[in-house]
Amino acid sequence: MSESALEEHVTADGETVYVSQREGDRGSKAPFLVVYRTADQERKYGYFCANCETFDNAMDTMGRIQCNSCGNLRKPTEWDAAHE
């Protein structure tokens, strides 16, 4: 992956992280982009909500991602009828 595919951001805690413009998952309002702690993409940080531009997202055990700010939602990657 080329260096230009990463966008540098600073979190609310002052940590510099790198948002991949090429990796992510579809959300209900906008994509969730993969975020790395390092520019070499060795350590994953989490996800960036492209809808409201926040790192404040939660993931459950089934792979569902939800933005805590705008409600953007990625459907679960796993599904079990017992959870219905």
E strands along the chain, which residues?
6-10, 16-25, 32-36, 44-49, 57-59, 65-67, 73-74
pLDDT tens column, 47-81: 999 999 999 999 998 899 999 999 999 998 766 65
| pLDDT band for position 40 (cuts 50, 70, 90) | very high
**Is pTM beyond 0.95 here?**
no
Check pLDDT > 60 for residue 3.
Answer: no
Check pLDDT > 60 for residue 4.
Answer: no
